[in-house]
Amino acid sequence: MEKKDIIRLEDIKLLVDTFYDRIRQDEMLGIIFNQNIQDKWPEHLSKMYRFWQTLLLNEYTYDGRPFPPHAHLPIGQQHFDHWLTLFSQTVDDLFIGEKADEAKWRAKKMAVMFQSKLDYIQNNPDKSIIF
């Protein structure tokens, strides 16, 4: 398969589907995702299509708050690092170009932000916070 950049919704779907297939099979992350998503994978994938379509293609189809569903999860730095490695490998396996690089950059920024928020929540259990 000749690699190209992420330029249309079909590319987003390929990225998301391939990535989450890998996640579901992963020893560290699979159990966390499968336990929390359970039988709602079609809804989750659809939301992820819209999320990445909005970020990478500037087609505004997502209007959610990505952090709150993650706030309660028992995850730490090692989970984010592994998630980011899998994501970057998936992008690199499938695509090449400016949008592919942007996808990896945005994923890294998200991982840092989510980890920072989770650290705050875990270290300040007496404080109520809305993200």
| Residue 97 main-chain phi, psi, to 5 deg | 135, -175
Q: How far apart are CA 104 and CA 49, in angstroms?
A: 16
Q: How far apart are CA 122 and CA 127, in angstroms?
A: 10
Name beta bridge partners: 4.
95
Over residues 84-101, the pLDDT tens digits come to 999 999 999 999 999 999
Six-digit token pair at 60?
């505004």
Largest Cα span, the chain: 52
Six-digit token pair at 52?
């990445």
Helix (H, G, I), strand (E, B) or coil at 1: coil
Q: How far apart are CA 106 and CA 35, in angstroms?
A: 26
Structural domain 9-63+71-123, CATH architecture: Orthogonal Bundle (1.10)
pLDDT at 14 over 90: yes
Over residues 17-76, the pLDDT tens digits come to 999 999 999 999 999 999 989 999 999 999 999 999 999 999 988 887 777 676 677 778
pLDDT at 131 over 60: no
Q: Where are the domains of the chain?
A: 9-63+71-123
pLDDT at 79 over 70: yes
| Length of the chain (residues) | 131
Q: Quick one: pLDDT at residue 129?
A: 58
Six-digit token pair at 67?
């952090």
Q: Quick one: pLDDT at residue 123?
A: 79
